[in-house]
Each structure stands twice: as structure tokens, then as C-alpha cells.
Amino acid sequence: MNKKYVVVFAVIVVLLCISCEKEVFTGPPEEGSAQNGMIYIDSKPSGSRIFLNNRNYGTVTPDTLKWLSDTDYLITLKTLLFQDTSFYVHPTNGVVLDLYVDYLANPSNYASIRCFSEPENAQIVLNDSILHRLTPDTLTGLYPGTYKVKYTLPEHRADSVYVFVRGGEYTDAVVALEDTSRYVSYTKTNSGMSSNILSSIVIDVNGVKWIGTRDKGLVKLEGDVWTLLNQSNAGLLFNCINCLTLDNRNNLWIGTPLGLMKYDGRNFINFSFLLPDFYVSAIAFDASGNGWFGTQNGLVKYIGNTYTVYKTINSGLSDNFVTVILPEGNNIWIGTNAFGINLFDGTNWTVYIKTNSLMQGDGVLSGFIDHNGTKWFDILPMPALDENGGLVTFNGITWQNRSIGSAMELRKIYTIVEDEIYNMWFGTKSGIAKMDTQGNVTLYNATNSGIPSLQVNKIAMDSNNNLWIATNGGGLIKYKKNIQ
């Protein structure tokens, strides 16, 4: 019995060895009698994989193939950069045959890039080197590999693409350039912007743009320099910013869902101790430099080192959730979330709701006071309450319903500004709208402009009368509105 087991075991071992020999290629095919023909193969550049009779030899150049028979062999070199190179060789016993392949000795092994831009006549920059050539054009005689192809054109955003090209082949580098003659977009992918979801923008006396995001903190744009300020690197209370305002001394005030901060150009200072609720929804400063802070649980007036909290239980405030604050001389206009508009003169409170005005609802989304002292408010549409909402004005005596369109997205206005020739601009649920002094309305969205059909949360105007538009998902847009 023991001998039988030994025989069976030996047979199994032999079968396993035969199986292994068939699965692994350990040398050239067995052709003719075993001899010691040798081929030394090198290439420039080195590192090409060596194939012998279409089978991977398992090595790269330079290397020597040994124990070759006296017969013809097909040698193929494969590399990522160049097309395959093949040739037949016949080794001789005891002789080393030298083979050397210089890929670039063959002009057909150089690469080419076809450069296309829309529009054409863009300057071509290859790996940061200006070529003084314009699109469309074909760059020839290139070493195979990866190239950065950049196109520049006046009044267009420079853009680039990375292309990989093999020897003997053509690769297309195609880029559509963004027209910046009137509209310039700043997003996460084309600028130093940290987020495309923006809540606010203000421009200080030095022309610095301060942009609030919903998820990445604060962005500072000074000239072409982007600086990102957040909880991690600047000590912000929260990376979600609700509102931004500049005071009379050019200090930046930042309202978040977790409190209030002031930035004096060097330090961030926490002022949340003033608040009856940490959720800051509106900030404004009157002509005397007093700060007014709206929260979802009351209004705060801040004077020097003292502050006063106004709520429905201790004042004439109609709603503790404050959404809009508009100082006008000694008066403060206050929009609320659900109970209309309040006028506070420092002593007396007057409340305007839909029953004593022409407002089509009682929730205030935004507000503005124009050069004539006319107050503009947008009222939130609430179809479930049969409240159509929309735009309304009040000149101190008369209320008037205004309209930039009947569609729901045009009755939701998140920001209102006035330009240098008294046109009114509105940020809506779907782009922006302009109303001229005659009441004519023009809509701007993705169908007719460089402004996306997205919610516009804030509009600011710089010293050159350009509009800076903070969108909810489309990043920041600069609109050079006076360029025809």
C-alpha cells in the first residue's frame, strides 16, 4: 500500500511540473537544436519592451537574448511613446548580434499637434513658451509625450489643454475661448475661487472684492490675487456666510449661521456676544456709524460699546426674523420674514403689511433705497397663502406694484441695486433684470448673455460701473455693462 501511494504522488508532481512549464514563457521557442545564439538589443530612448515572435520576453532595452537557435526570429519593440518597431534577425551560434534602434533617427517618428481655437487667430503657447504662431496651425517635429497647449486672444480668457501625442501620429488640441469683452466668469475651474455657491459680495474703498460663499468661507480678490479665508486658516466662525457689509471705516462685517465677525484688515474679531440669536441674516450701518444686525430672533443696534436688542416683546417690531435692513437718515427700514415692513425712527414704529399697503404678501426677500428716496422691496411669493409676491415701491406716500415679469422666478428677487444713470438692477431666481428710468425691462440669462440662468444672490457695482454678480452655483460674473 505504501509503495502505491508513493507512485501516485510522483505522477501528480510530474503532471504539475508539466502544467507549469506550459503556462510560463521562460525563453525563445524551441526551434531546431539548442544553441547559444545571442542578440543584444538597445534603443534610444531605452525602456522598450522586447517581444520575440510576438511573445513578451519579459525584459526591456537594453538587454541580451540568449540561447537562441539558428533560425529566423521576429523582434518587436513596444513603447508608449512610439509606434511598434519590428524586424527579422537570424542569430548565429556563439556570436552576439548587436541591434540598436534610434527612434528619432527616423523623421516619421516625430509627433505633431494640430492647434485649433474658437475663435481663431489665438496665440499658441507650448509648455509656457510663446511660439509667435496663431491658430489654426500644426506643430511638427515634436518629441513624443505630453504637452500643455495654451491659447491667448485679446478680450478672451486664456485657456489650455494637455495633450498626449505618440511618435508618427497627430493629436488635436481644441479649445473654445471664453469671450470676456463683456462678461467674465470666475469659477472653481478657471480662477482662484474656492466655491461656485456664493451668497454675497461687497467692494471696499480700495476696490477689493470680498465674496461670501455658502460652503468655503470668504474670498478676497485684490487685483488678480485671490486669497481664501476660512475656519481653518483664518479663524472664521463658519464657512457658510449669509451676508457681508462694510462699515463707515471700511471694516468688513461677516454674518454667518453661527454668529457675527468683524475684519479690520488684520484680525477677525468675534461680535457674537451682541446677538439674541447666532443666525445673522442682515447687516447695515447708518450715517452715524451705528451698526444694525438682523437675526432670526431679533434686531440689534450697536453703538460703540453699547447695544440694544429689539424684539416683538419689548418693541414695536412686528417679527423677530429680520431679513432686510435699510438705513435712511435717522430712520431704519426693516424687512421681516413673515410680518411685513417696519419703519423705526428711533422712537416710533410703523408697520406695513399687505392689508395697509399694496404688498402681495408679508415676507420680504430684499430691499433698496434709490437716489430719490424711493424704497424698493421684493415680497416672497407664497402661492399656498394666495400671496403673489413680487416687486413693490413706496415713495413715503404712495405704494406702487412694479414688475419685471410674471414668471415665478422673476418675482423672487434676492438683491436690488441702482447704477450711475439710475437704472435698477435685480438679481432673480434665473439671472438678472434691468429696469430703465422709463420702466422698460431687459432680462439677462444664459439665452442672451454670459450670465447663467441661476439664482443671483447679490450684485455689487465697482468704480468703473461694472456689475459683479454672485450666483448660487455659477460662481462670480463680472458684467462690463457699458461696453457695447
Give the per-residue pLDDT at 93: 87
Mean pLDDT of 138-146: 96
CATH of domain 183-479: 2.130.10.10
Rounded to whole angstroms, what are the CA distances from 368 to 61, 86, 99, 361, 462?
A: 75, 77, 82, 18, 17
Give the per-residue pLDDT at 304: 85
Give the per-residue pLDDT at 19: 38
For the stretch 162-177, pLDDT in tens is 999 999 999 999 999 9
Whether residue 271 is predicted with pLDDT greater than 60 in this model: the reply is yes
Would you say 81 and 166 are in contact if contact means Cβ atoms under 8 Å apart?
Answer: yes
pLDDT band at 279 (very low <50, low <70, confident <90, very high): very high
Containing H/E element for 327?
Answer: strand 322-328
Give the per-residue pLDDT at 483: 79
C-alpha to C-alpha distance for 473 and 436, rounded to whole angstroms:
28
Mean pLDDT of 379-388: 92
C-alpha to C-alpha distance for 347 and 353, rounded to whole angstroms:
20
Question: Do 183-479 and 37-105 have the same topology in CATH?
Answer: no
Mean pLDDT of 267-292: 96
- pLDDT, averaged across the chain: 91
User: What single-letter amino acid sits at 400?
Assistant: Q
C-alpha to C-alpha distance for 317 and 235, rounded to whole angstroms:
34
For the stretch 74-95, pLDDT in tens is 999 999 999 999 999 999 888 8
Q: Where are the domains of the chain?
A: 37-105, 110-179, 183-479
Mean pLDDT of 182-209: 97
Q: Which CATH superfamily is domain 37-105 in?
A: Carboxypeptidase-like, regulatory domain (2.60.40.1120)
For the stretch 25-56, pLDDT in tens is 444 444 444 468 899 999 999 999 999 999 99
pLDDT band at 264 (very low <50, low <70, confident <90, very high): very high
- CATH fold, domain 110-179, is Immunoglobulin-like (2.60.40)
Between 158 and 2, the more confident residue is 158
Take residue 104 and report the three cell numbers written for it.
528619432
Cis peptide bond prior to 276, omega within 30° of 0: no
C-alpha to C-alpha distance for 426 and 435, rounded to whole angstroms:
8
Give the per-residue pLDDT at 378: 98
For the residues of 154-223, what is the DSSP string, one character each? TTB--EEEEEEE-TT-EEEEEEEPPB-SSEEEE-TTTSS-S-SBEEEEEE-TT--EEEEESSS-EEEEET
Mean pLDDT of 317-328: 98
Please provide the size of the chain in residues: 484
